[in-house]
Structure 1
Amino acid sequence: MKSAPVASHALPADRHVLLATVDGTFTPGGKRLAGPVDSVEKLAKLIEWAPGNGMLRPFRLPDNESWSSGQVRFLGSAGAALFGAAPADDAERADTLGQLSGPLAGLVDHGWELRRTGAGRLELAKGSGATRVAAEVMIDVNPWLMDGGDPDVGRCLTRWAETVGVLPEATAAQSGQAVLEQIMVARTGRKNSGAVVTAAGAPPDDVNVELRIQPEWTAPEYVLDRGFDHAEDLVWLEQECPELASAGMLTLGYGRPQRLTGKAAQSEAAEDRKFGLWLVTFPPAGELGLPPQLPLPHPAMRVDEPAQAWITNEDLIGLSKTVRDGGADLSVEQLKVAEALVWPEQTRVLDTWAKRLRGARKVLAPDPAVRALVEYAGRDYIASLTDADHAVWLAAIAAHIRFRGRRAAMRIAREYRLWPLYMRDAAMIYATGRDEVTGEHIELSDTDSTSLGRVMVTRSVELSDELILAAVTAENHAELAATLIAAVSAPVPTWIQTDTSGADPATGRAGSVTVSVESQGSTETSVVQGNSDSAETQAKQAASAAAAIVREQGLQIPAAVLDVDGLWLPDGTRVDLPEPIVHAGQVAQLVYTHDLGYRLSPTFAEPGQIWITEAACRQFGIDVDSIDKYDRDKSLRAATEGIDFITLALADGWRFGGKTEESGAVRMGAWTRIYRADGDARGVFVALIPGMDPDRKVMPILQGASAAQIARRLQLLANALGYPWKINAGVTAIDLMVQTRTRSWTRAQWMNEVLAPSTTSEPYGIGDVERDFDWSRPPTSDEACCRYVHAYDRGGSYVAAIAGLELPIGDSVHHPEGTRFDPKVPGYWRVAVPEQQDWRLPYLLNPAGLKFTEPKWMTTPTVQRALELGYDLDILEAITWPRHGRVLRGWYERFLKASTDLDTYDPDTRAPRDLDADAARNQSKVVRTRGVGLIGSEQFLKGKTGYSPERRLHIIAKAKANIAYRIDQIGQATGNWPVAAITDAIVYISNDPDPRSAWPGPKETFGRGYGQYKPAGSSLLTEHTQFLTGGGYTGMSALTKPDEWAAQMSAGDR
C-alpha cells in the first residue's frame, strides 16, 4: 500500500487535534472516540483522558523552546449545546470569547486555568509538571477547510498539517499568516537562518499607494465588436497562483523608511535602487503610444492630463519596459520623481514562505481539494496585507502581477491578434475562434511554461447569439462586465463523498469528519457513512445550484419607478402595464416580473425596489395632500390606513413588513417591505416618493427629475457605490460598511469585533477641540489693499481623511497618569492646551476660539499635527485602543469610486455634462456625510452595529489636521495666510479675480478630487470685511457662487 506523500516538516494531526461534531468526537483521521461533547464535564474529561492515549499532545514550536497545546475543534453547530452558539442561519456570530469563557468559567473552581489564545478560542489547562494537561478550545462554525470542495474536514486538516507543517487557522488568510509566523519563529536566535521580519514599516499617513492589481475594466466598443467576429467561445484566462508566483521572488523592504525629496530622491531612484516608494508624475497616457485596447499600465494614469501618484519599484520596472512587453517606455527621468520613501533593509521576506506553500501544492497535486486550500491561503494572506505596516509589500506584489498580466496580453495580441474584452485583477476574458491557417481552436493557455504565474484558460462557454447581443447592447461598463462575468461563471464544485464506515484500503482511514451543507445559510456537522444519492441526482443538484447563481448574477437593476403612464426602467424604457394596478401586491410583483434586484455576490442580491411617484400615489387612493412635511412618515402611515391599496393586497396573500398598529391596522410608510405569505420572507421594497424629503440636501436624486430620470439616477448611484440606495442615507451608509469587509476579517470578526457597538464613552469636553474650524481674523494693512476674497472647499474632507487613518477596534485602555504618545495608536489624550503661536491661521487646538480654563481631551490626529506644528504638549491622562486598523478604507474607496465615476464636470462651462450623474454623485455625498455623523450618534445608533463615536471623532480630527497642514504649508511657502476658515472651507485674499489662478497652493492640490480644493465662492473684499472680525465666520452665504462669479467676470463686472 502506497501512502500519501508527507513533507519533511509534517505535523501529525491525529496526535494533536480532536474534532467535536454533533454526531460525536473523532480524530481527524475519522476514528470515533466518544459521543458529542455537550457538557463542560465531558469536555474536561476528554482533555484529561486524551493525552494518556496519545492524543491532544502538545507540540514543539520551531524555536525548539516553546510548546503549543493540542486543539479541540467544535465543528459546525456542535458547540451550540455547550456554548450557546448562534442558530444555523447566523452561525458565524458564535465566534466570540464570551460564548466560550462563560460556560467554562465553572471549571476554574476545580483547578482549571482559562487563557485567551485568539478570537473565539481559549486554552484550558490543569495541573503542573508531568501531570499538566492542556488543550486549546476552538469554535469553527463554517470551516474554511471545506472551501476546496471536499466536505471531509478531518481529512483536509490532516493533509494540510502533513504538507504545510502547521495547523490551519480560522480563515485562509490567517492560515497563510501562520506559516510565515512559524518560519520567523524558527529563525529567531539562529545564525545565518535569514532575517526575522514581521512588518515592512508604515509610510507616513499622507502617502497612499495603489493596492489593486487591476481595477475592473471592459474593452472599448470597437474592440468588443471586432472581438466577436468569427469567435466561437468566451474564455476566462487567469494567472495560475499569481500571489505565490510573485511574493517569493520580490525583494521587499523593512525598517523605518527615510523620506527624500528633490535630487536626493531622483538619485535614489536610479539603477540599483533600494526598496522604496516613489512620488512620480505620469505624463498624459495619450502621448505614449499605448494600445487603447488595454487599460493603462497604472490605475492612477490619465489619458489627457498628467497625474501624480506614489508607485513601487515594481511599477518603475514595469513602466520602463517597452510597450511590446506590457510597459510604457518610461524612464525614471520621464517620471519626474519628486519624493521618495526608502526602506533601510531589504530581503526576499516571503521567499521561504512561498517555497513552503509551493512545495505543499506540488505534493498535493493528486489531491485537488486540499491543494486548492493551499492556494487560497497564499492568495488570501497576500490580499490581507492592507494594514499600514504591510501595505507596501502588497502594493509591490500587486504591481508585479499587473505587469505580468500585461505582458501576457501583449503576447496574445502579437500571436493571435486578439485583445481582452474584460480585465480584473489577474484574470481576463477573451472571445476566441479558430486559427486562420490551421483551422484549429485557438489555445490561449501558456502551455510552454510550467511556472506559477502562467496564464491558463480555466473556464469556457460557447458563444451564443443571445450572449453577443447582450454584450454589444450593454449600456455601460457595469452592465457589460456583469454580462461577461455571468456568462463564464465558474460551476459549483461537485465533490462526491463516498466514504464507508470501514477503513479505506487505499488510505487506511477509518471514516470521515465532514460539515455537509444541507441548505443555503445553514450547516450541520456529521460523519458520512455512505452516499445515498446517485451521481445523476448530485449532478442535477449541482446544475441547479449553478443556474441559481447565474440567475442571481443577472440581477443588476436596483429599482424601477412606477408612474401613471407605466413602469420606468433605468435605461429609459417605459413598460406598459398589462392590467390596471389596484393594490400594493401587484406593485411588488413587478419586481419579480422584471428581475429587479442588485447582486452583491454570486449568491446574494439586495431585494428589488419599486418607487411610486406622487401622481401614481394619488391614483392608488393615497391622500398625498395630508402628508405633513415635518413628519412625513407618520402622516403617510395615517394616510394609508384602511385604503383598498393595502387591504386588497392582504386579501390576495401579500404581507407587509414593519410594525402593525395596536388596532391591527396595516399601514405603509415611505419604505415598506412587501412579501408573499407563502414565499420569500425577504420580499421586495416599495417606496412612496411623497413620503421622502425632497430637499436637495437630503434627496438630490429627486430634484427636478422625471420618473425615468429617477430610475436612471438610482442605477448610476448603485453602480458607482457597488450598493443600492436603501431606505435613507444612514441605512445605506451602515449597510455599506457591513458590505465592505476585507478578506483579512471573517464575517464573525467583522460584525462582532470591528463593527461591534462601542462601549467607550466620550470624555467630557472633547467636542471643544474635536470640532470643525469656525474662525476669522481682520486683514492686515497689506491684505486690506487687495480687491477680492475667494473661498475654497476641500473635496470629501471627512471621507478623504479615512484612507490612511488607523481607527479603534474593541475595548479601550485607560491610562490615569498618561502614557507615551504613539501617532499610530488611536486614542483620547488629555492635554494642557498651550497658547497659540501664530495668529495668522486658525488654532488647531481651539478651532472655534473658545475660552479654555482647564486641560482638554483631544484625539491622536490632533495631537500628532500639533506636535508637527511645533507645539510642546504635556499629556496628563490617556485612553488608547491597542487594537486598531484601517478598517473603513474599503468604505472610503467606494465613495472615492463614486465621486470619480460620476464626475462629469465640464471646466469650460463650469457645469456637469450629465445632470443625472451629477445628482447621483450628490446623493453619494449625502450617504458618506450622514454615515460619518451616524456612527457617532448616541440617539440613533448606540448599541447597534457600527456605533463608534471614537471613530467619528478621529475622522473629524484627521480632516481638521489635514486642513491645518495645508494652511501651514501654503503659508510657509508663499506667505499667503487665510483670513477665515469654516468646516472644510478656507478663505484667502487676492488681487486676482479668478479663483482658479488665485489659488495659492500647489497645483496638484487644486481640483475636484478628494482632499483637493475647489472654488466655493468669491466676493469683493470691501463687501466682505464685515465677516472678518476675529470671531467665528458667517460669511459663506454672502459669497457669490463660482459659476455666477465666472459669468460676472466674463461680462467685465469684476
Structure 2
Amino acid sequence: MTAGAADIGRHVLVLTAAGSFTVEGRRLTDPVDTAGKLGKLILWSVKRGGLQAIPGCGDQTGAARVWVTGAAVDLLVGAPGDRAGDPATHLGQRLAPLVDDGWELRGGTGPAVVLAHGRGPERVVVEVLAEQQPWLAAGDAAVADDAAELGRRLRCWYAALGVLPGHGGAASGALLADHVMAARTGRRGVVVSTPGLLPAWVSPELRIQPAWSATTDQTEYELRRCDELVRLTQQSPALASAGMLTFGHGQTQALESAAALAAARAQKRPFGLWLVDLPAADELDLPATLPLPHPRMAANQRSQAWVTTEDLDGLAKDVRDGGAGLSVEQLEISEAIVWPQKARILEAWATRLRNARESFADDAPLLELVDAAANDYLAALADPDAWADEDSRHHFQPAWAATIAAHIRQRARRAAMRISREHRTWPLYVDGTSMVYGPSAPLESSAPVDLSDSHTRLGRLVVTSRAELTEKTILGMLLAESTAEVYAVLSAALGPSAVGVDQLQDAAVQSPPPRDTPGRQDADDAEPTLVAPEVAGSGAEEVAKSAPDDAEDRDAAAGAPGRRRRGPVGARAKLGGSPAAVLDAGGLWMADGSKHNLPEPITHVGHVAELAYAHRLGYLLTAKYAEPGQIWITEQACRGFGIDVDLVLEKKPKDRDAALRYCTQDIPFVTQAVADGWKLGGGGDGASARLGIWTRIYPSDQQRKGVWVVLIPGMASSGDSPQEVINVPILIDGQGDEGIAVSAPSTVARRLKLLADAQRFPLKINPGVTAIDLMVQSRPQGTTIEEWRNGPLAPSTFDVPFTINDVERDFNWTRTPTAEELQCRFVHAYDRGGSYPAAIAGLELPIGEPVHHPDGSVFEDPARLAQLVRAPGLVTIVVPEPEDWRVPFLLNPAGLQFTSPKPTTTARLERALKLGYRPTIVEAYSWPNHGRVLKGFYERVRDASVVLDSDDPDAQAARNQSKVIRNVGIGLMGSESNLKGKTGYDPMKRLSIIGKASANIAYRLDQIGQATGRWPVAVEKDTVLYLSDDPDPQRAWPGEAKTWGRGFGQYKHEGSALLSDQVEFLDGRQYKGKPALLDPDEWADMLGSLASPADVKRGS
C-alpha cells in the first residue's frame, strides 16, 4: 500500500444530492447548492484537518478534491435546462462568485476546476470535479448518488494504486503513469515528457486484427466435426503487452535506404517504424486458414506499409510460430524513423495495475474499472485529442500503440498455430483479440475440448462463451456473403455482447486501410459530405466571417461529435481531407500526385469552381464544418483563360491583388460565369465582377457552399526576388541569380495538403488570416466561436504607451571579448527554435480590461509585487543600470540611453526580478482576467514544426509556410493598421509574448554562464553567439544536451566563422556580423580542414 493511502479521507470530500460526506460515508452537511456554501464547506473542513494536500513523490503534493457526483451536479451547476452539454464545463462559471470572497479560480485537468484561497502556510488548494455519472460508478446510476459506495471504491482504488482516479479510464491510466514518472524524477529511470509525434507521411498500423472470416469451404469443413461454437479472447491483452515491451523515447532520427537497412539488421535493433514492401501473401507459404500476418499485406500484390520493430520481429518468425519467415532483406526496407533511446517504460505502470487486479479479484466493479483504465489509456495513446491539455501531451505516443497492437496480433497468431497442432482445428472468425472456433466434438464421457491457454499469465486465451451449434447457425454461416454477415450470425448464436467487443475497444486506435486495399467500401471509408458556411467576400476583411457559423456552435453545445482522430470511429466522418487542387493548362493536379484530364473545356470561372465539387475538395475541421475547397490556378492556365498576366507581373507582389482586380474586370472568363448564375465574393453590392488573388465563387443553386479560386501569379512568379515572396515559401522551388522558381502544380497541391494535415487547418487568403482563424479554431473544447471571439480574442481597446518598444523589443547586443576569449579561434551562432511560439506554451495572456495602479509605491511590498508579476501586466519602471556586462540587459535589450521611466511587461519584469534587479515602479496596469489563450494555437504550430521536420523538400516548404503563419499571426495581433477593432487585435498579447521570449533567452544565458563559465559575445533577436576552440558547433554548444535540437525553445547551429573574421563586429554595439557567417552546410564542408581542440593544444 502506498504511504498515506489508508488516510485518503483527509484529502477528499464527496458531494451528493443528500449532502456532503467523508469518503467513509459520514454525513457532514446538508446539500451544497451554491458557490458560497461550497467555499464555506471547504474552509470549515480544512480547519478540522480535512481537504489536506495529497502527498506525492518527494516534496510534491497534489490538490485535495471535492467530488461532486450524481444529482448534486444539478444542485450546484444548475438544472439540465439551464445548461447545454456536460455540466462540468459550466462549473467554473457557477463558482465565479467565490472570486469576490478572495478565492482564486482556474482550470484544472479535464472537466475539473481548481479553487485556491489564502497565502503561505494557510493556503488552501482544492480541485473540484463534477461528474453527473462518475466514472467510478461504472455506469450504475444508483451508485452515482451513493456516497458510501463511491467512498469505498475511492479508498480501495487509492490504496491499491496510490493515486486518485481521473474522470475516465484514459485519464485514470494517465494519472497513474504520471505518478510513476514523477517517482523517477531525479533518480534512475526514464521520464517521458514530450509527445511521440510522427511525420505526416508516417502512419503505422494501429489495428490489432481487422474482422476476418474463413472461406465457405473451410467453414463447412470445420463445422462437420463440431457440435458447439467457442469464443476465445485474450485476457487483458494490452496490459499484458505494455508491461513487457520496450518503447522508444526522446528525439527521433530519420534514416533512409542503406542506413535504414543497416539499423534493421543490427543485433540490437532500435525501437522504430520501418517503411517496408510486404510481399504478396500468395508468394509465401502461409496457411490459408488464418488472416494474413499483417493487416496491410495483400493476397496477390506487394504492398507498402510502415511497420514497428515488433512487426519486424514477428514477421521474421517461422510460420509455425505465427510469423511469415521474412528477413529484413525480403521486406526491402527503404526508410525508417528510429528512437536511439529505449526502455521498458510502462513496466512499473503495468505492474501496479496487475497487482490491483489481484487485489480486486473478488470485487467485480473495481476489477472492471482497473481493466478499463488500462485498456482505455493504452487505446488513447494514438488519439491526439485525448491529450489536448498541454500537461498531458506527453501521453500521445502512436508508435507505442502500434507496437502494442503488433505484439497482441503476434500472440494471437502464435496461439492459433498451437491450437492447429494440438487440436487440428482453425478459427471460423477472428476480430481484434478474439477468435471463434468450432472444436471437434469430444468422445462420449470425455470433457469438452479446451482450446484455452494452460498458463495463468495475462494475455492468455480464455473461453468467454460457448453456444450449441444449430442448423440455423450452420446455414447462416454457409450462406453468408461477407464478413459482416458472418458476424451477424455469430452474434445471434453467441450473444451480441460476446462477438465484436474488440471492434469497439480498438476504435480509438484504428487506422485507415491503404488506399489501394481491394474490397467493398464501408461507410467509414466514404468521402464525407463537406458543409461550409456562407462567406460574403474575399480578402483580409473576411477574418471575422470565415470561421464556422453558429450552427457549429449549437452542434458543439449539444454534444455533437467533433474530435479529430487518426482513423475512422463508428460512422463518423473522418476529419481532414483534400484542401486544394492545382489547375494547369494540362489538367487538374491532386495532392497525391495524380492528374485528372478535364472532361470539358473550361470557359469561365464557374467551371473552375465545379472542379472543387466534382473532386470533393475541402478540409473537414469538425463533424459539422469544413473549410471550403480551393482550386489554385497556375500562370499558364491564367493566360489561357484570358487574364493579362503580363500586366499583373509588372507590379510587385504586394500590388498584384489590385492589378488582378483591374485586369479581370468584365473579361469573358468572369462575365460568362455571372451570366450562368454564379456569384463572386469580395466585390460588395454594385461592384463589377472581377477576380482577386483569392475569390469565393458561389453556385446559383444555393445548395452548395462557395469555393475558393486562387490565382498563383498574384502571389509569386518565376523571377520574383526571394524577399518579395517571403510569405509564400509553399510556392517556391529554389532560387538563382534570376530570382525564384515557382513549384510544379503537383508539388504545390502536395504541399498544401501536408501543411493542412500538420496543423489541422489549411492555408487561406494569407498567413495573417490563416493565423487568426487558427487561433479561433483551436479554442478549447466546449467553447463556442462567439464566446471565444467576444472573450479571449475580443479586440482590445487598451492603448499601449508609444514608448513601449524601448524595452519591449528583441535583443541586439555585443560585447568585446576578453583577452582569454580572444585566444579562441571560432565563433558559433545558435538559433533558438520557434522562440516566440515557445514562449506561448505556459504564458498567461490578458483578457478584457486592465486595472490601473497609479501609485507604484504599493509594490514595494514583496507580496504585492509577487502578485503583480504573476498576472499579465504593463509596468512603468525606472530602468536600473545593468549589473552583468557578460550578458545583454533584459530591461534594456538594445543598450539605449534612458532619461525617463519606461514601460515593460510583467513577463519580462518577472525574470529581471529573479536575476536580482529591483527597479522602482512608477505605475502599473494589471489584467485580473487572464488565461492561456493561445495554448491551442501553440500546439497546432508546434506539432506542424515537428511532423514536417524532414529532408523531404515539400515538407520543408510546408514547415516554412507554417513558420510564416505563426510569426505573421503573432505580429498581426499588435498591428493597429491591419487588425484594430477586429478579432485577435491585442498589442498586449504580442508584447507579453516578446517579453517572455526575451526572458527565456536571458534565463538560458545566465544558466549556461553560471554552470560552465562561458558567456555569449553577441545576441541578435533569437541568435546567440559563443566563442570556442572546437570547430564542431554541436560539441561547442555550452548548454545541456536537452537544450540542443530543432524543437521549440531548443538551440541549433545557425552559422559559424573564424573569430578573426568576426572580431570587428564584437564592439559593444549592435551586432551586424550575421551576413559574414558561413551557413551550416558551408561550415560542415570546411570541418575536415579545421584543427580539432587536440590539435590546437599540440600547437599544430
Match of 1:49 in 2: none
Change (3 A) 1:682 1:875: farther
More deviation, 640-649/929-938? 929-938
State the distance in 1 between where 2:574 and 2:948 align: 24
Aligned to 1:612: 633
In the aligned structure 2, how far is the partner of 1:461 from the partner of 1:319?
Answer: 19
Contact 1:793 1:1016 in 2 (8 A): yes
Partner residue in 1 for 2:937: 891
The one-letter amino acid paired with 1:701 is I
Q: Is contact 1:555–1:596 with CA below 8 Å preserved after alignment? A: no
Aligned-partner Cα distance in 2 for 1:750–1:587: 35
Aligned partners of 1:314 and 1:399 also within 8 Å: no
Mean Cα displacement is larger for which, 893-902 or 992-1001?
Answer: 992-1001
CA distances 1:684-734 after superposition (whole Å, capped 9, x unpaired):
100001111564521111112111111111111111111111111011111
Aligned residues of 2:207 and 2:506 also touching (Cα < 8 A): no
Amino acid across the alignment from 1:951: K
Residue of 709, 724, 738 corresponding to 2:762:
724
CA distance in 2, matches of 1:1007, 1:525: 41
Query: Quick one: which amino acid aligns to residue 880 of structure 2?
Result: P
**What's the offset of the Cα at 1:552?**
5.3
Question: Could you tell me how far 1:583 is from its partner in structure 2?
Answer: 0.4
Q: How does 1:618-629 map to 2 (within 5 A)?
A: 618-627=639-648, 628-629=651-652
Distance in 2 between the 1:567 and 1:877 partners? 61
**Residue from 943, 948, 967 that aligns with 2:981:** 943
Within the candidate set 593, 596, 606, 1:572 is matched to 593
Deviations 1:188-239 (A, max 9, x none): xxxxxx99999999x9xx9997487998999977999997987899xxxx99
Q: Contact 1:384/1:743 (CA < 8 Å) preserved in 2?
A: no
Equivalent of 1:470 in 515, 518, 524: 515
**How far did 1:795 drift?**
1.1
Amino acid at match of 2:631: I
User: Is this contact kept in 2: 1:562–1:612, CA < 8 A?
Assistant: yes
CA positional deviation for 1:384: 9.7
Tell me if 1:11 matches 2:14. no
Q: Is 2:457 aligned against 1:457?
A: no
Q: Aligned to 1:847, which of 893, 900, 912? A: 893
Q: In structure 2, what residue type is equivalent to 1:734?
A: I
Q: Could you say which residue in structure 1 is the equivalent of 2:1052?
A: 1014
Is residue 57–residue 70 contact of structure 1 (8 Å, CA) maintained in 2?
yes
Amino acid at match of 2:780: T
Q: Secondary structure at the match of 1:754?
A: coil
- Paired residues of 2:808 and 2:904 also in contact (CA < 8 A): yes
What is the one-letter code of the residue matched to 1:690? P
* Aligned residues with identical type, % of pairs: 41
Separation (CA, whole Å) in 2 of partners of 1:525 and 1:1050: 63
CA distance in 2, matches of 1:212, 1:859: 31
Secondary structure, aligned partner of 1:820: helix
Structure 2: which amino acid aligns with 1:687?
A: V
Unaligned 5+ runs, structure 1: 1-7, 14-55, 79-92, 102-115, 120-143, 149-158, 167-178, 185-193, 246-278, 328-347, 349-357, 363-374, 420-428, 475-482, 492-517, 527-546, 905-912
Q: How does 1:390-405 map to 2 (within 5 A)?
A: 391=391
| Structure 2 match to 1:640 | 664
Paired residue for 1:317?
A: 348
- Determine whether 1:978 maps to 2:1016: yes
Aligned equivalents of 2:789, 2:991: Cα separation in 1: 21
Offset from partner CA, 1:926-946 (integer Å, 9 cap, x none): 111111111222222222222
Cα pair distance change 1:449/1:854, threshold 3 Å:
farther
Equivalent residue number for residue 705 of structure 2: 682
Q: Indicate how the Cα distance of structure 1 residues 755 and 223 shifts in structure 2: closer, same or farther if over 3 A, else same.
A: closer
Aligned to 1:586: 607
Q: What is aligned with 2:747? A: 709
2:684 aligned residue (641, 645, 660): 660
Q: Is the alpha carbon distance of 1:524 and 1:1040 closer, same or farther for their aligned partners in structure 2, counting shifts above 3 Å?
A: closer
- The 3 A distance-change label for structure 1 pair 490 and 687 is closer
1:567 alignment partner AA: L
2:515 is paired with a residue whose SS is helix
SS at match of 2:672: helix
Match of 1:821 among 845, 862, 866: 866
Deviation at 1:591, TM superposition (A): 0.5
- Alignment CA distance shift 1:525-1:610 (3 Å): closer
Find the residue that maps to 2:830 and give its secondary structure. Answer: strand
Number of the residue aligned with 1:651 = 675
SS at match of 1:1024: helix
CA distance in structure 2 between the aligned counterparts of 1:227 and 1:473, rounded to whole angstroms: 14
The Cα offsets for residues 425-474 of structure 1, whole Å up to 9 and x where unpaired, read as xxxx9768965775999999999899x9x994354999xxx996626599
Q: Report matched runs for 1:9-48 at 5 Å.
A: 11=17
State whether residues 459 and 488 of structure 1, in contact with CA within 8 Å, keep that contact through their aligned partners in structure 2.
no
CA distance in 1, matches of 2:522, 2:984: 35
3-state DSSP of counterpart to 1:717 = helix
Gaps of 5+ in 2: 1-13, 20-32, 46-71, 98-103, 108-130, 156-162, 168-174, 217-232, 240-248, 254-262, 274-305, 311-335, 357-364, 370-376, 417-429, 441-449, 454-458, 466-496, 530-549, 559-567, 718-723, 734-742, 1093-1100
Work out whether residues 10 and 162 of structure 1, in 8 Å CA contact, stay in contact via their aligned partners in 2. no
How many residue pairs match? The answer is: 765
Counterpart residue type for residue 738 of structure 1: V
Aligned to 1:957: 995
| Letter matched to residue 848 of structure 1 | A
Q: Secondary structure, in 3 states, of the residue corresponding to 1:581? A: coil
Q: Cα gap change, 1:442/1:950 in structure 2, threshold over 3 Å: closer, same or farther?
A: farther
Tell me, in whole angstroms, the C-alpha distance in 1 between the residues paired with 2:711 and 2:235: 50
Query: Secondary structure, in 3 states, of the residue corresponding to 2:957?
Result: helix
Aligned to 1:556: 577
Contact 2:553 2:785 in 1 (8 A): no
Secondary structure in 2 matching 1:968: helix
**Partner letter of residue 749 of structure 2?**
A
Distance 2:234 2:763 in 1: 35
User: In 2 relative to 1, CA 720–1021 (structure 1 residues): closer, same or farther, beyond 3 Å?
Assistant: same
Maintained 8 Å contact 1:12/1:161:
no
Q: Distance in 2 between matches of 1:959 and 1:659?
A: 41
Amino acid at match of 2:620: R
Partners of 2:1064 and 2:206 in 1: CA distance: 60
Mark the CA change 1:870 to 1:820 in structure 2 (over 3 Å): closer, same or farther: closer
Structure 2 CA distance for partners of 1:609 and 1:163, relative to 1, 3 Å? same
Q: Is the 8 A contact 2:751 2:957 kept in 1?
A: yes
**For residues 562-616 of structure 1, what are the alpha-carbon distances to aligned partners after superposition, in whole Å with 9 as ceiling and x for unaligned?**
1111111111111111122110000000001111111222332211100001111
Quick check: 218-227 or 879-888, which moved more? 218-227
Change (3 A) 1:575 1:554: farther
1:668-817 maps to which residues of 2 (within 5 A)?
668-680=691-703, 682-693=705-716, 695-704=724-733, 705-743=743-781, 745=783, 747-816=785-854, 817=858
What are the equivalent positions in structure 2 for 1:492-571 lying under 5 Å apart?
553=574, 556-571=577-592
Match of 2:422 in 1: none
Q: So what's the TM-score if we normalise by structure 2?
A: 0.57
| 3-state SS of paired residue (2:840) | coil
Aligned to 2:617: 596
Instruction: Report the TM-score, using the length of structure 1 for normalisation.
Output: 0.59
Range moving further from structure 2, 836-845 or 674-683: 674-683
| 8 Å Cα contact 1:408-1:455 kept in structure 2 | no
- The residue identity in structure 1 corresponding to 2:707 is V
Deviations along 1:641-666, whole A, 9 cap, x unmatched? 0001110111111111112375x311
SS of the residue aligned with 1:730? Answer: helix
- Tell me, yes or no, if the aligned pair for 1:76 and 1:524 is still in contact at 8 Å: no
Query: Structure 2: which amino acid aligns with 1:699?
Result: V
Alpha carbons of structure 1 residues 306 and 874: separation in structure 2 relative to 1, 3 Å: farther
The structure-2 alpha-carbon separation of the partners of 1:603 and 1:231, relative to structure 1 and needing over 3 Å to count, comes to: farther
What is the correspondence of 1:166-315 to structure 2 with a 5 Å cutoff?
Answer: 210=193, 287=268, 304=338, 306=340
